[in-house]
Amino acid sequence: MIFISILLLLFCQEIKNLEIDPSKTIIWGPGLKPDKATMRARYIFLQLTDLQGKNLTESPGKDIINVSIQGQTSMGNACHVWTQILDCKDGSFIVRYKLHNTCFNIKLKIKMKHHNLPILSIESKGPVYEEECYCPNPSINKWLEDLECSKNYIQIHKDLAIFASVDFNKIRQSIIKAYDRPGSVSLCHYVVKSNKIFRKCYGRHVGFKIFMDSILLSITRKVVLPDIEFFVNLGDWPLVPKGGKIYPIFSWCGSYDTKDIVMPTYDITVSSLEAMGRVMLDILSVQGNTDTLWEEKIEKVFWRGRDSCRERLDLIDISRKYPDLFNVSITNFFFFENETDKYGPGQSHISFFNFFKYKYQLNIDGSVAAYRFPYLLAGDAMVLKQESKYYEFFYNDLVPGKHYVPVKNDLSDLVEKIIWAKENDKEALQIAKSARQFARDNLLPHDVLCYHVALFHEWSKRLKSKVKVLDNMEEVLQPKHSCKCYNDDVKLKEEL
């Protein structure tokens, strides 16, 4: 009887596969242009369709997609390419590949089980560079076009609107004087000159400079940045109060009380740069590791986190009154350590991928905005988001009620919103799908690169003072890497 059941299961799987029309597969992503889009992990999306041309909405089966990537090094040896196939369980797949050296004559084929003709077949003469290779595109506009970056960044224009003309010769020392507070502020002064990076940091805790260094080093390997000068806040809290002197400070988090210029957070930036590297959690891996079907998910709100704000403790109080609606716990006590007995004990951490065994996720502030929000949107659960004065670079592009369910800052309507979701399951599912699509359209690794480059490009247009390397600055050097740049037109002049 068990054997017959297995045969029936296999037969049904074959039927499901035969309903797919490979010729109508929707394909997109920067991995389609490997010689134009240099990243540690290039990626391609596949949306499978049925014979009627409708998108599949669930996984068609295990090992249905096969990928082959071949190429040669400059010495004629086979290129070392690591490929990865992520089944998003919604009828779509992500194919990622990582090059370990510069490749030529790359042939990439993607095939579907039981079908002879490939879904995708592309060839690139190259050179196709690896992430560490320094060979920047001399045209920033061409680079933005090649990566199909957005042509309209609302947040960038909003942040830079008050800085129409910036003369650092007049304000540089005032900025340093105002924010050189070693006990409470960590700040780095950066200069990019002739595509080389220099900095001087102020503060007692400046370790987070490695994140800003990393994105600048990565970008300048890919594209020639204009000469720019700027200051970066290395802390989580935005620095520039609305009511005071407005100085141009770049920060990872903004708020309605401040005027900082917002960049993608160090968290999403590092995960974008290191995907398929030492970082395991990134926007794409989240989408490829949510394996619980919607109808099988537990109908509770799931949350884990530190005791970074009072509302997180209030959440524990609420959950204890409604245990059938919540699975929430504090993982570490620091800010409210004296209340451990009441709200603890601290629970062990759980894999982020396992969050999505639950239908509802809660995004609640920590010290500032909770930097996990992009990953929650990328999953396949409905996100409830606490109203907050803090925001990241993409928040203004989100639509409440479409991409997430808003919850009052004091969480007073949280239970009401959960009950609504349980009673309106189709609407909750649609919100989850819209959130994932938003992440695919706005929060992928190339989007993070695009945002930084577009921001620096726009910033350069506002600088009126000549950009120069100051005597007390140190150079941030590119990693030592053996790589030949085959673009002979790139000849950078040192005008230091």
Give the pLDDT confidence score for residue 341 in this predicted structure.
87
- Element containing residue 111 per DSSP (H, E): strand 104-112
What is the predicted pLDDT for the residue at 169? Answer: 97
pLDDT in the model for residue 14:
44
Cis peptide bond prior to 445, omega within 30° of 0: no
pLDDT at 134: 96
Lookup result for tokens 């590119």: 478
CA-based nearest residue to 468, from 167, 140, 174, 137: 167
DSSP secondary structure string for all residues of 184-230: T--EEEEEEETTEEEEEEESS--TTHHHHHHHHHHHHHHB-PPPEEE
Instruction: Determine the Cα–Cα distance for residues 371 and 397; give it in Å rounded to an integer.
Output: 16
- In the three-class reduction of DSSP (H, G, I as helix; E, B as strand; rest coil), residue 333 is classed as coil
* Domain regions of the chain by residue span: 20-131, 290-445
Asked whether the beta carbons of 284 and 320 are under 8 A apart, the reply is: no
pLDDT the model gives residue 79: 95
Cβ atoms of 382 and 429 within 8 Å: the answer is: yes
Per-residue confidence (pLDDT) for residue 56, from 0 to 100: 94
DSSP state for residue 389 in the 8-state scheme: S
pLDDT for res 487? 67
Phi, psi at 25, each rounded to 5°: -60, 130
Could you tell me the fold of the domain covering 20-131? Answer: Immunoglobulin-like (2.60.40)
Class level of CATH domain 290-445: alpha beta
Residue by residue, pLDDT tens for the chain (496 residues) are 444 333 334 434 444 444 899 999 999 999 999 999 999 999 999 999 999 999 999 999 889 999 999 999 999 999 999 999 999 999 999 999 999 999 999 999 999 988 888 999 999 999 999 999 999 999 999 999 999 999 999 999 999 999 999 999 999 999 999 999 988 999 999 999 999 999 999 999 999 999 999 999 999 999 999 999 999 999 999 999 998 899 999 999 999 999 999 999 999 999 999 988 776 789 999 999 998 999 999 999 999 999 999 999 999 999 999 999 999 999 998 888 888 889 888 888 899 999 999 999 999 999 999 999 999 999 999 999 999 999 999 999 999 999 999 999 999 999 999 999 999 999 999 999 999 999 999 999 999 999 999 999 999 999 999 999 999 999 999 999 888 998 644 443 333 3
Note the pLDDT of residue 319. 97
Query: Would the pTM of this model clear 0.85, i.e. be above it?
Result: yes
Q: Are 235 and 185 contacting, i.e. CB atoms less than 8 angstroms apart?
A: yes
